[in-house]
Structure 1
Amino acid sequence: MGKHVRQRRTHRQMIGVAGCGRMGGPMLEALRDGGARAIGFDVVEKSAPHIAQNLMAFAPDLDTLFSVVRDADETDALLFGTQNLIKTAPKLTRIFICSTLSPRYVRDLRTRIPTRITLIDAPMSGAQVAAENRTLSFMLGGEQGDIDDAIPLLAMMGQNFHHMGAYGTGMQAKVLNNLLAASHTAMTRLVLDWADTAGLTTDKLLALIATSSGQNWLASGFDTIEFARDGHAADNTIGILVKDVAAALDSAPKGADLALPETVQAAIRALKPRV
């Protein structure tokens, strides 16, 4: 009976998505299309009427928050600083941390947020194309009952739900996954540049890679992943990959050899647009 009560609550609550950019925007639309009472918030003005820039249009009735802001500084501003939702959203009872952040930072949030608020780390994978297609993969950290309660909402936005363990383990898994994705991105782009010099046709090489031992997510989705051809910029997804590698480095085991991930990070930072 308790589980059914939690699921009914899912449809009554007011859900907020903070950070309505490449990922948060499509996630908000998926929640609304799925029948959830959902509103967005972004410090940058958006054209959609259901995305507020005025905090008082967002916070007072908020029960569940999906935080999809860029980094730890923006998360601090959202929860404790400029927006201070911990105090300005008195009905807040649950927070999903969806941004890719340092696992150390995420674990420390539990000591800073009142225990009456359920915390779930729920970073996602799949890039903007998966957010738009509602096929995201979520890596989840939290108590089993809280995860069970969350699945009806997450299922509006995604297809794959990986409960990794206690709170914080979802983010640990995500930064390791993104470290691997960053290495694929760096090496795939290098291989394509070398192929150009050798006179190979990009489409033919990508078709070969897709059926051979070099297959990887970036190469397989090169024509649909929005950042596949981008160069590094602070405000794009390639820039975010640099941040994500930094989050993985921050959680590296004591005494670990950091040479390879640091090389990957430098290679991502050096990427130029591929035209």
Structure 2
Amino acid sequence: MIGLAGCGRMGLPMLEALRDGGVDAMGFDVVDPGLPHVTTNIMAFAPRLETLFSVVRDENETNALLFDIQNLMGTAPNLRRILICSTLSPRYIHGLRDRIPDHITLIDAPMSGAVVAAQDRRLSFMLGGSDRDIADATPLLALMGEHFHHMGGFGAGMQAKVLNNLLAASHTAMTRLVLDWADEAGLDTQHLLNLIETSSGQNWLASGFETIEFAKHGYTPDNSIGILVKDVAAALDAAPAGADTSLPKQVQATIVQLRPRTR
């Protein structure tokens, strides 16, 4: 059985994509979404589990899933492959290899594109693992996404993802600041976004401002803006020795101060 743990904003549409593709896939979450193919009972999920997609929020939830509360290392005897799709520190990811039995294949497969891309099955995956392992996993990934970037060995996908998200965080912080300043100057938001799309300021958040689900949100620890703050922390954890981290830290602090936009 294919299992997906973490059936939230990203995970649930990924699970539906697998099932729509004819895969025998079941979801697990600690919160019941009221669907027959998603369970909150780990013992209804673990015994048949062979391949796991982990889309839980952070390192604490990953530890709970694999080693502690749900303890799939002890409750899933048939587990042979784990794809880590959460955005986590590359240092943490490398440490997983020493904690998981050698007979279980590990692939880091974080994804990008936000909820709209998950719903449209056009996610971008950044992949770390051997050529053979990535080739074996690609048919499943292709049901959920359309861009696959094999970055290198295990851990390289996550390293690429946190760097990508560091850029996304900077785009978010600066685009929101620019729009706030434009409000004060009396500029029309849509006119400015149209200009940015065809000019040197073009970026992911501005281009998707009306479709990215969190583009206008303010910061709370448990929403997508909060996840972006967590992702910057993951990048900082893997910063090169002696690197100047002042700019990423300022981006992170700016995102924490975001308030909801109404237009």
Letter in 2 for 1:186: A
Matched, 1:29 2:47: no
**Deviation of 1:184 (Å):** 0.1
Which residue of the other structure, out of 37, 52, 57, is the alignment partner of 2:44? 57
Amino acid at match of 1:198: A
Aligned equivalents of 1:114 and 1:62: distance in 2?
Answer: 16
Deviation at 1:45, TM superposition (A): 1.1
- Provide Cα deviations, 1:196-223, integer angstroms capped at 9, x if missing partner: 0000000000000000000000000000
Counterpart secondary structure, 1:233 = coil
Matches within 5 A, 1:42-81: 42-81=29-68
Query: What residue number does 1:40 align with?
Result: 27
Identity %: 73
The CA deviation string for residues 138-190 of structure 1, in whole angstroms up to 9 with x for no partner, is 00000000000010000000000000000000000000000000000000000
Give me the whole-angstrom Cα distance separating, in 2, the residues matched to 1:234 and 1:187.
20
Cα offset for 1:87?
1.1
Shift of residue 62 of structure 1?
0.2
Gaps of 5+ in 1: 1-13
Indicate whether 1:152 and 2:139 are aligned. Answer: yes
1:118 matched to which residue of 2? 105
1:234 Cα shift? 0.8
State the partner residue of 1:87.
74
Could you tell me how far apart the structure 2 residues matched to 1:209 and 1:34 are? 38
1:80 shift after superposition:
0.2
Counterpart in the other structure of 1:197? 184
State the alpha-carbon separation in 1 of the partners of residues 85 and 257 from structure 2: 27
Q: For this pair of structures, how many residues does the alignment match?
A: 262
SS at match of 1:16: strand
Segments of 5+ residues of structure 2 without an aligned counterpart are none
Aligned match of 1:234 = 221
| Match 2:158 to one of 171, 182, 189 | 171
Deviation (angstroms), 1:260 = 0.3
Q: 1:208 aligns with which of 195, 202, 206?
A: 195
For 1:40-61, what per-residue CA distance to the aligned partner results, in whole angstroms no more than 9, with x for missing partners?
0000111111000011110000
Answering whether residue 148 of structure 2 is matched by residue 161 of structure 1, we say yes
For normalisation by structure 2, the TM-score amounts to 0.99
1:23-75 deviation per Cα after TM superposition (whole angstroms, max 9, x unaligned): 00000000000010000000011111100001111000000000000000000
Per-residue deviation, 1:136: 0.1
Q: Which residue pairs with 1:137 in the alignment? A: 124
Runs of 4+ in 1 over 6 A off after TM superposition: none
Q: Decide which of 77, 91, 102 is 2:89's aligned counterpart.
A: 102
Alpha-carbon distance in 2 for matches of 1:213, 1:49: 48
How high is the TM-score relative to the length of structure 1?
0.95
